[in-house]
C-alpha cells in the first residue's frame, strides 16, 4: 500500500485519542448528543433527517451544502452528463446501447437505484448498480465490463442514481438478501486494522463529534456516488470504504468485492427513508 494513502502516525494517534475523548453528551430526554440535537432543531435540515437518521449533508459546511444544492455548481453533475452520453452509446457485438432496452432513463430508471444493492440470481449474490450495469453490458450488449471507478462506469452509475434523486432509500434485507445483509452487519461492527476500530465507533457512537478538524457523520450512503472535496474528483461508495479501511490501517478489499457490496447493503439499510441525494458533494 503506497505510503501516501496511509493515515499519518500523528493523525492516527489523534483519531484514537479523539474517539476515546468524545463523551457524546446526551441531551435531556433523548438519545442524541448535543450536536445532533442542534441539527435536528435547524429547519434547514427538516428533509435531511428521518427518525434517528441524519444525511451526510447536515454535517457538511454551508459552502459545501450550497455547492451541492446548485446543479450549475455541483461538480458531480458533470458525471451525470457523462452518463447521459454513455446511456445512448452503442457498444458490443449486439449493437445495443442502454437506451435500446430501457428507453428514456427518466422514466425507466426512476425509483430503481434506491432499491440497490439487491440479490441478483445470475450472480448468486448481491449486485449494486455498478454490478447491474456490467451485467447488462455482458449479457445484453455483448460488450466488455466497464472498469470499476472508470469514467464511463461512474457516469452511468451517477446517471441512473440521478433519476431517483429525492426518493427515499428503500433496500430490502430479507429473503435471499438476508445472509449477505448479516455479513455486511458483521463487517460494520468488527474492529480491524492496526488501530482496532470498527465502523460503528465513528459513525454511531461518535456521530456529530469533532476529532481535530474532522466532523464525524453517521456514514450514510444516500449521497453516493459523490464528488468529494478531499479527492477533488467524483467517486464511488466502495472507494470511500477503501479509504476508511486505510485510515484505520487495515488492508482494504477491492472495489466491487463481495465484502464491500455486503457492507453497502447494511449501510444503505441504516439509511432507509433518507432521500437520495446523488450526485452529492461531500468533504
The answer to whether the 33-72+169-282 and 76-162 domains have the same CATH topology is yes
pLDDT for the residue 31: 64
- b/e burial code for range 154-177 (CB count within 10 A of at least 16 → b): bbbbbbbbbbbbeeebebbbeeeb
Backbone phi and psi for residue 227, each to the nearest 5 degrees, phi listed first: -90, 115
pLDDT for the residue 4: 32
**What is each CA distance from 116 to 34, 119, 141, 181, 200, in whole angstroms?**
33, 9, 22, 12, 22
- b/e burial code for range 11-30 (CB count within 10 A of at least 16 → b): ebebbbebbeebebeeeeee
Cis preceding-peptide flag for 238 (omega within 30 of 0): no
**pLDDT digits over 115-159, tens only?**
999 999 999 999 999 999 999 999 999 999 999 999 999 999 999
- The answer to whether residues 219 and 226 touch, using CB atoms and an 8 Å cutoff, is no
The secondary structure element, H or E, covering residue 17 is helix 9-21
pLDDT for the residue 16: 54
pLDDT for the residue 33: 86
| 136 labelled catalytic | no
pLDDT for the residue 15: 54
Q: How far apart are CA 200 and CA 24, in angstroms?
A: 14
pLDDT for the residue 32: 83
Distance of CA 258 to the CA centre of its chain: 15
**pLDDT digits over 77-87, tens only?**
999 999 999 99
**Hey, what CATH class is 76-162 in?**
mainly alpha
Q: How far apart are CA 36 and CA 55, in angstroms?
A: 11
CA dihedral angle for residue 88, residue 89, residue 92, residue 98, rounded to 10 degrees: -20
Name the pTM for this structure. Answer: 0.90
Place of cell 448468486: 124
Domain definitions of the chain by residue range = 33-72+169-282, 76-162
pLDDT for the residue 23: 47
> Domain 33-72+169-282: which topology?
Cytochrome Bc1 Complex; Chain D, domain 2 (1.10.760)
Which residues of the chain are modeled with pLDDT < 50? 1-13, 21, 23-24, 27-29
Amino acid at each position: 500500500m503506497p505510503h501516501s494513502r496511509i493515515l499519518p502516525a500523528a493523525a492516527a494517534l489523534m483519531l484514537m485519542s479523539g474517539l476515546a475523548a468524545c463523551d457524546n453528551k446526551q441531551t435531556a430526554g433523548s438519545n442524541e448528543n448535543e450536536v445532533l440535537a442542534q441539527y435536528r432543531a435547524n429547519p434547514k435540515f427538516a428533509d435531511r433527517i428521518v427518525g434517528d437518521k441524519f444525511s451526510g449533508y447536515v454535517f457538511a459546511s454551508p459552502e459545501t451544502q450550497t455547492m451541492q444544492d446548485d446543479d450549475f455548481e455541483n461538480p458531480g453533475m458533470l458525471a451525470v452528463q457523462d452518463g447521459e452520453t454513455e446511456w445512448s452509446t452503442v457498444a458490443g457485438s449486439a449493437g445495443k446501447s442502454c437506451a435500446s432496452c430501457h428507453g428514456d432513463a427518466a422514466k425507466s430508471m426512476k425509483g430503481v437505484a434506491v432499491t440497490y444493492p439487491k440479490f441478483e440470481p445470475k450472480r448468486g449474490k448481491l449486485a449494486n448498480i455498478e454490478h447491474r450495469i456490467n451485467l447488462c453490458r455482458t449479457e445484453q450488449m455483448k460488450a466488455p465490463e466497464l472498469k470499476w471507478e472508470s469514467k464511463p462506469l461512474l457516469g452511468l452509475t451517477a446517471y441512473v442514481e440521478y433519476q431517483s434523486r429525492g426518493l427515499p432509500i428503500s433496500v430490502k434485507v430479507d429473503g435471499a438478501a438476508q445472509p449477505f445483509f448479516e455479513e455486511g452487519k458483521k463487517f460494520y461492527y468488527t474492529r480491524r486494522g492496526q488501530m482496532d476500530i470498527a465502523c460503528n465507533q465513528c459513525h454511531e457512537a461518535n456521530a456529530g463529534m469533532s476529532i481535530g478538524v474532522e466532523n464525524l457523520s453517521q456514514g450514510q450512503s444516500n449521497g453516493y456516488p459523490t464528488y468529494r472535496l478531499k479527492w477533488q474528483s467524483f467517486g464511488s461508495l466502495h472507494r470511500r470504504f477503501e479509504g476508511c479501511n486505510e485510515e484505520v490501517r487495515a488492508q482494504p478489499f477491492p472495489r466491487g468485492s463481495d465484502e464491500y457490496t455486503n457492507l453497502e447493503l447494511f449501510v444503505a439499510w441504516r439509511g432507509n427513508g433518507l432521500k437520495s441525494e446523488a450526485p452529492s458533494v461531500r468533504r
